[in-house]
Structure 1
Amino acid sequence: MKKIGLFITGAGLLLLGACTSTKLTSSWKTNDAQLQKDKKIMVMALVPQREKQLRALMEDNLVAELQKEGLNAASALRTYGPDAFGDKTDEKAALRQLRNSDASQVLTVVLLNKARERDFVPSSPYGPYGPYYGGFWPYYSRWYGAMYQPGYYQTNTRYNWQSNLYDLDQRKLIYSAQTQSVDPPTAVRQAYLYAKLIVKDMTKQQLIAQN
């Protein structure tokens, strides 16, 4: 995140610290779907070529988190290499390749959008406050300064991701989730938080059985 301007109050600093986030925006699963420990999940990330480091990180972190839950997960990048599933690969060839690796499910991770957005942040946000019992002037001067202190502009980078889990035997989608990451400090951190969030939601949705 880049901020423009030097007018930052205490409240502004709180906003500044809160702008980095990773959150789940939606998720869904089919009724009664549950991952089995004896079935292999192939994790496949689809990102622009220039983000190839991020592809490896997303796959590796998801594989690690799924394995912590006792599931048999593997990275498509590490199993097949970077060019195994190109635009010239047809469905039959892709399915044959996956089944030759004993994969029963495929978890795709797609970078839907990456965009930079410029937002204005006021110097003091409005909100509910409790009663004030001090003198008139300290109260008035505090709010006067907040009301007339200029805010600042900040530029955020937003990543929108979607994960879909497909059952190859049934040939259907059994789970889908969308997330948004705002200004992740590093690709490593973004991939780590994303994997934690997705596996946590899978558990919440009872897709991953709790021990």
Structure 2
Amino acid sequence: MKKLGLIMAGLAIMTMAACSSTKVTSSWRSNNAPQLQKDNKIMVMALVPQKDRTLRSQMENYTVSELRRKGYNAVSALQTYGPQEMGKMTEKQVVQQLQGSDVNQVMTIVMLDKGRERTFVPNYSPYGYYGFWPYYSMWYSRMYAPGYFTYNMKYQWEGNLYDLKSGQLLYSVQSQSFDPPTTERMAILYAQRVVKDMAKQQLLAKQ
């Protein structure tokens, strides 16, 4: 019985790990979007609530790191301008400042939604087929046993890549993160998934 309990606990941990994920749900590339040049500068700018400033730093830094790993000249807006600088400017002033710099493209990462998701889990668990009566009695008793609710954190993200000179939207990607173990792990997986998708969309040069 003790061994069975350990097995069930292990299965539960594996199930929780499998449920934790970050994935791209959809993406789009403009038909006339050119492949990004490695000598161009890409500024990564995460837009999240002020209370989640640590998450902003993580999303920018890991996306910058992943782009640099591919050989691109990426920089973080937070590292370049600080947490408050652009918040004091109008949209026109922000655009003018960026256009007056040596930045060629801007990649925004916007937190569209963050919330807890409620899921009902019935009181069922794996069971072997060991004869009619054990099978029948197990299911009969569980049909009347109450299940329970679990609460998981879900994030929805949208990333957009703009060309500063023309103002054109070059690329857009939507993704979701479900019950990440930490925000840092979510940021790492986000960067990996999105940059991989950018390569798939042929925005990035082959290494």
TM over 0.5: yes
Measure, in 2, the Cα distance between the counterparts of 1:119 and 1:133: 28
1:144 CA displacement: 4.2
**Percent identity of paired positions between Structure 1 and Structure 2:** 55
Measure, in 2, the Cα distance between the counterparts of 1:13 and 1:43: 35
Structure 2 residue runs without a partner (length 5+): 1-7
1:171 CA displacement: 1.1
Matches within 5 A, 1:136-175: 136-144=132-140, 147-175=143-171
Aligned length: 198
Measure, in 2, the Cα distance between the counterparts of 1:104 and 1:125: 55
Measure, in 2, the Cα distance between the counterparts of 1:138 and 1:11: 22
Preserved CA contact (<8 Å) 2:99 2:165: no
Q: What is the DSSP-based 3-state SS (H/G/I as helix, E as strand, rest coil) of the residue aligned with 1:43?
A: strand
Structure 1 residue runs without a partner (length 5+): 1-7, 127-131
Q: Which residue of 2 aligns with 1:3?
A: none
More helix by share: 2
Q: What is the DSSP-based 3-state SS (H/G/I as helix, E as strand, rest coil) of the residue aligned with 1:209?
A: coil
Amino acid of the structure 2 residue aligned with 1:60: N
Q: Give TM-score scaled by structure 2 length.
A: 0.84
Greater mean alpha carbon deviation, residues 163-172 or residues 15-24: 15-24
Taking structure 1 as reference, are residues 10 and 190 closer, same or farther at Cα in structure 2, changes over 3 Å only?
Answer: closer
Taking structure 1 as reference, are residues 75 and 161 closer, same or farther at Cα in structure 2, changes over 3 Å only?
Answer: same
Taking structure 1 as reference, are residues 38 and 124 closer, same or farther at Cα in structure 2, changes over 3 Å only?
Answer: same
Preserved CA contact (<8 Å) 1:9 1:124: no
After superposition, the C-alpha distances for 1:147-194 in whole angstroms (9 at most, x for unaligned) are 444322111111111100001122110101111111211121111111
Preserved CA contact (<8 Å) 2:129 2:135: no
Measure, in 2, the Cα distance between the counterparts of 1:178 and 1:134: 47
Q: Give TM-score scaled by structure 1 length.
A: 0.83
Matches within 5 A, 1:1-211: 15-33=15-33, 34-86=35-87, 88-91=89-92, 93-124=93-124, 135-144=131-140, 147-211=143-207
1:39 CA displacement: 1.1
Preserved CA contact (<8 Å) 1:12 1:124: no
Q: RMSD value over aligned CA atoms?
A: 2.6
Measure, in 2, the Cα distance between the counterparts of 1:29 and 1:209: 15
